[in-house]
């Protein structure tokens, strides 16, 4: 049964990825068609065609390798310097120049005179930004929607003031996880007889409604004597307690430690639905972490290469869609979760993936969407500058000149993907 559930988790995740890719491409195609651009292809995946159908002038289909997708917008590259879009240079000065020439030739091989008014490069710069940003923004919307479903629909696991466990001895965070010894002092909670299931309602005469409120009062109490009120089997009791002082991680800065009051209990957790503001907070925190991960991706790949050849792989290592699929399978089986918890975990993984796809595509390098957006913004800026100086509009930015960069970036991404997939097979990241 576990194997079946594992497979269902992987399949559900892959279907979610395919839908996310398709919607991303819709984010490009819809505004492009609205602006009159000719769109000839809409495919999910790469490689050989598995299935396709034609609707009007656009061919829709699936490719064999489900690692991305693309929309063919006709006329992405402007004509060459001779202003003849169908002219082909007979000479060149180097490999990159030939690559650009070949790309222009391939771009205009099937373009007819009737297509000329519908070429992408002829759009105003702001419409180009809308078209190219449409894909990543769809991923942002998907991520926000999925986070909202998880947080507002299922709820978020939150600590309560009900006791889950009572520690036998007081151990600092630096030694957490070891067994108690005869030299370790007993915890104040065990000394006053607190038991699992007790609901703490007040500390030092101050009523508490959340675990954070309770821990704040306990930490601030130091080694002083106070009172604690709890409910057991429907009966409320108030007893004196002298908290001990141990070294614990600082709340606002986990890299530091501080001496604080200590009781010796851990809370029960329950799922509690949150509001839109909490969704926004989670989105912002996840965005910050994702942006930082993308920024450090090149250096993190060094650890992945080492892991591919036997070194220990960090738990927060970058992973490919293969690794993410394995994680999805483990998330729906580890700790014997309920079906609701399984759905939460897969949806959260998909939400995080969509946010990563959005931010990664905004990187201002071709062939990523961000590269085209940067080109369009530069086009708008130089057009405005020319207008301010009374000069003629310089026209569209020739993104073809950046194709050598696009090839280098594309090859780099392919190599990174191969390394990640290999590492995910031979030395995968484990949930447990």
Ramachandran class of 232: left when φ > 0, alpha when ψ lies in -120 to 50, beta otherwise: beta
HEC string for the chain: CHHHHHHHHHHHHHHHHHHHHHHHHHHHHHHHHHCCCCEEEEEEEEEEEEEEEEECCEEEEEEEEEEEEEEEECCCCCCCCCCCCCCCCCCCCCHHHHHHHHHHHHHHCCCCHHHHHHCHHHCCHHHHHHHHHHHHHHHHHHHHHHHHHHHHHHCEEEEEEEEEEECCECCCHHHCCCCCCCCCCECHHHHCCCCCCCEEEEECCEECCCHHHHHHHHHHHCCCEEEEEEEECCEEEEEEEECEEEEEECCCCCCCEEEEEECCEEEEEEEECCCHHHHHHHHHHHHHHHHHHHHCHHHHHHHHHHHHCCCCCCCCCCCCHHHHHHHHHHHCCCCCCCHHHHHHHHHHHHHHHHHHHHHHHCCCCCCCHHHHHHHHHHHHHHHHHHHHCCCCCCCCCCHHHHHHHHHHHHHHHHHHHHHHHHHHHHCCCCCC
CA-based nearest residue to 139, from 60, 30, 28, 285: 28
Q: What is the CA radius of gyration of the chain?
A: 29
Residues belonging to the chain: 432
The secondary structure of 62-102, three-state, reads EEEEEEEEEEEECCCCCCCCCCCCCCCCCCCCCHHHHHHHH
C-alpha angle with apex 52: 112 to 32, nearest 5 degrees? 50
Q: Which residues are catalytic?
A: 25
């Amino acid at each position: 049964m576990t194997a079946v559930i594992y497979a269902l988790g992987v399949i559900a995740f892959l279907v979610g990825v395919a839908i996310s890719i398709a919607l991303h491409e819709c984010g490009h195609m819809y505004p492009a068609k609205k602006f009159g651009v000719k769109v000839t292809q809409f495919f999910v995946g790469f490689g050989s065609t598995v299935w396709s159908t034609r609707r009007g002038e656009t061919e829709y289909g699936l490719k064999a390798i489900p690692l991305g997708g693309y929309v063919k917008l006709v006329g992405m590259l402007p004509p060459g310097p001779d202003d003849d879009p169908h002219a082909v240079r007979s000479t060149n000065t180097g490999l990159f120049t030939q690559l650009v020439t070949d790309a222009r030739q391939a771009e205009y091989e099937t373009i007819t005179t009737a297509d000329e008014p519908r070429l992408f490069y002829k759009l105003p710069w702001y419409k180009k930004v809308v078209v190219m940003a449409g894909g990543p923004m769809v991923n942002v919307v998907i991520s926000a929607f999925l986070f909202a479903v998880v947080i507002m629909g299922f709820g978020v696991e939150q600590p309560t003031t009900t006791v889950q466990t009572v520690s036998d001895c007081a151990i600092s965070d630096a030694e957490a996880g070891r067994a108690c010894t005869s030299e370790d002092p007993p915890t104040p909670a065990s000394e006053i007889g607190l038991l699992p299931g007790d609901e703490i309602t007040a500390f030092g005469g101050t009523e508490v409604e959340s675990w954070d409120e309770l821990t704040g009062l306990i930490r601030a109490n130091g080694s002083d004597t106070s009172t604690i009120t709890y409910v057991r089997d429907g009966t409320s009791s108030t007893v004196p307690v002298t908290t001990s002082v141990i070294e614990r991680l600082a709340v606002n800065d986990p890299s530091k430690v501080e001496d604080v009051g200590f009781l010796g209990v851990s809370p029960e957790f329950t799922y509690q639905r949150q509001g839109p503001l909490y969704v926004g907070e989670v989105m912002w925190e996840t965005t910050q972490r994702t942006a930082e991960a993308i920024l450090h991706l090149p250096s993190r790949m060094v650890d992945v290469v080492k892991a591919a050849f036997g070194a220990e792989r960090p738990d927060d290592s970058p992973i490919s869609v293969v690794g993410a699929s394995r994680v999805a399978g483990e998330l729906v089986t580890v700790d014997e979760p309920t079906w609701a918890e399984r759905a939460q975990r897969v949806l959260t993984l998909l939400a995080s993936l969509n946010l990563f796809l959005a931010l990664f595509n905004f990187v201002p390098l071709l062939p990523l969407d961000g590269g085209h957006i940067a080109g369009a913004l530069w086009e708008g800026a130089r057009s405005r500058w020319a207008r301010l100086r009374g000069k003629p509009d310089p026209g569209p930015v020739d993104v073809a000149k950046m194709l050598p960069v696009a090839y280098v970036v594309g090859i780099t991404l392919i190599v990174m993907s191969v390394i990640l997939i290999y590492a995910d097979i031979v030395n995968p990241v484990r949930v447990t």
